[in-house]
A and B are shown apart, each in its own frame.
Chain A
Amino acid sequence: MLQIQNLTRNFHSFRVLNNISLELNRGEILGVLGPNGAGKTTFFRVLTGFLPQDDGVIRPTHGQWPKIGYKPERLHFPSRMTARQYLATMAAMSGLSGQAAGSKVQQVIQLVGMVPAADKRIRDCSKGMKQRIGLAQAMIGDPDVLVLDEPGDGLDPIGQQEMQAILRMLREQGKAILLSSHRLNEVKAVCTDIAIMSRGEIVYKSSIARASEASGKTRIFCDSDLGDIKLLLESLDPGIQVREQSVELSTEALPLRRDVLRLLLSAGHDVLRIERPETTLNEVYAKVIRQ
């Protein structure tokens, strides 16, 4: 839907975004990760037109510009208005009027699960409810692309699960979603792709499936403490890590695994199970950022 090429933005002499290139497609949820100050919010603001870029292009992939909905990181609302009044104003701003506006407002209120709070003043709503209003206003007007800065911030675990379900549903409807988050399990649960930003650059980009591919490690779980053969196990290979009741091999090599199993069984330890763990997003993130 959107193609971003070599996007660059400076604040005075400081380069905040450096040659960012991305493509956002229909039915894709791209999670943008990165430490604080990496440039995520600036990237979103350039993308949504609040800040002009110094260089690079943002263009629609196919002819017509998609409609973009935006939820900023920090939410500010006219606090005396009720959520329904606020959303009705946003519906009117999006060109809806009369019955169409009313039914659209009711639809998003139900979708984001804020029916009980819809007629409360916004200032009396909880932080989680305000997040839902933020998402609801971004969805009014049926945007093709949603840019969500920290959508799960301030939500309780149930609220987070509901938010993830909404995002998955929007993806199934063919929306393209760009979101930033520091919650890696949230990103793993909803995103199809990730991009990691550091110092204004995208330093890693991959699909979630590829990022979570088998780590190449083998983990063997036993029923008893392995302290008695720790040194013997470690002498087999420098890549072996012995924990209380498990052994982690840094490779999947069969001969080494056989040697370890033989040693465990001969020492009287029962083997419960053998795993090939996936790389966690935490590991990918930490590795990329440390580099």
Chain B
Amino acid sequence: MTPEIGHYAVALAFVLSIAQGAIPLWGAHRNNSLLMNFAAPAARFQFIFVLLAFVCLVVSFIESDFSVALVAQNSHTLKPLIYKISGVWGNHEGSMLLWILILAFFGVLVGELGTNLPSSLRARVLSVQGLIGAGFIAFLLFTSNPFLRLDPSPVQGSGLNPLLQDPGLAFHPPFLYLGYVGFSMAFSFAIAALIEGRVDPAWARWVRPWTLVAWTSLTIGIALGSWWAYYELGWGGWWFWDPVENASFLPWLLGTALLHSALVLEKRDTLKSWTILLSILAFGASLLGTFLVRSGVLTSVHTFATDPERGVFILLLFVIVLGGGLLLYSLRARSLQGGGLFAPVSREAALVLNNLFLATAFAVVLVGTLYPLVLDALDAGKVSVGAPFFNATFVPLMIPLLIACPLGAKMAWKRGDLRGALARLKAAFASAIIVLAVALFLDDDRSILAACALGIAAWLMVGASLDFLEKIGVSRRSTGEVYRRLVNVPRSFLGATTAHFALGVMVAGITVSSVWQIERIQIMQPGEKIEIAGYNVIFDGTRQINGPNYSALQGSFSVYRGQDAITILLPEKRSYPAENSTTTEAAIHTNFYSDLYVVLGDADGKGGWATRIYFNPLVPWIWAGAIMMALGGMLSLTDRRLRIGAPKRSLVHSNAALPQDR
């Protein structure tokens, strides 16, 4: 019965989404407040129905109801509960339902929290959300129904791919979808603004929190996926420029550009056309990712079950939503003119440069990802575009961006003083040079590139710190004043500074772990000792153990530093009988600035075992940096000014709408 309720709920949601899409839009056109006010309740009920459907699906998974085809294909009674639940979105149909749930959730949030928006704008935003929702629900209902039944129902399910039975990967999709779908808010706002014919700083301020939520979630989602790859795949790699990874990175790049561009729009009422374009393209990139992953045009570990028929439906959605949005943009772009001027050296200019490099990076990753597909479609041959290409092209594009970051932060709006900014960053520059010199000195290979990268990391980290210290008035004001400023520092400033600092942390982590990784691959007999990076690792032997739905061969490695026992590492080779596959689990010891990483290999038949031991210096800083960046986003989100929001035209508030310095 539960699956039927779920199915019916989705159908109801479909009808509601169409109504939500059409009625308020018409109401806004006619300035009919009754019709416009239909939006929020419609969004509310659409969300309730979609939530009901989702809950029904989750219940089916938890109860291991194998009469539901999806549950039979993706679950098993012996699977731990948390993976029964995460199995709901570990497949195409369930993840589509999650996507739709999040879409409806954002809709209801706008309905409930967007009371300070002008009613016509809110109505239009919800309408566009509704229309997008209708498209995706139609896709679900007609090509990817999660509630299809099996008759007779099997006694046991096929289980979930063991690779997905993992905490990191269980939560990777929800965060990703919050990000992808979150950008639909910026899209809806942009379309609504284009229809209204008005884009102004108030609009930018309304859009900012939604973009921040999307961007922060996407950052976390990508970081989770990358971290999972690191500890699961067994050789310490964490980014492969796989087409599906790129598909998640593309909206992130545009989202970052959008955050910065919207800032310029908000403060200086310029870059309107570009910001609207970015809002449309960011969600377009999300849709592109959906298409690439679910249509069968790519072969990748990440893709879901491929089906060209589904591909056609998603392609249509892609063309209608993105094409429609861009068409409206092209027709209305003329009316988005005007705004503040700025000098070639100014904060606006720095942010424009930021956008230029981010947009170019986006375009390069896009071209590299789609190129093999394009050539194959034109029957012009098969090529591979892999990590070597992306590393050679993406990294150089990031360097000017990273160098400009602390400089831009120090510039004034409208007309900046480059010399002054450099003077105030003296300490950051000095640190960069010192770090560069030390790195060159300590490195046996004298790698110039690595040393420069570390110099840039220091430049970013010290630069952000200097920014913060200057803001709270250290060395210029009295201690009391500094303390008062510290307590009252605007959250959005704190958020941005944290994120820029985090960027430096990530660059350091990426550089050091890539260049100075130590690898020891050998056959070890029980009792043998290996020395690596000052650690002594002794192989104690292996034994069989059992887990809830797997059996494993577990190796034991005692780790010492000199005489001190540090830890015992227990890597495993697991065998999942239900799914008939095996995984290798690495054992990692981290002290948060380096990782000792041990993997058990195959037996050599003579009592010895192949072992791989890695020392990954500073690799935890990669994830730490990502988390810090997300934290920065969250801090910005809690800024008081975003909650109060810009007032309606008829009222004048004293503090809320005054443009303060960041």
The finding on whether chains A and B are genuine partners in a shared complex, rather than unrelated, reads no
Which B residues fall within an 8 A CB radius of A? Answer: none
Q: Which residues of A contact B (CB under 8 A)?
A: none
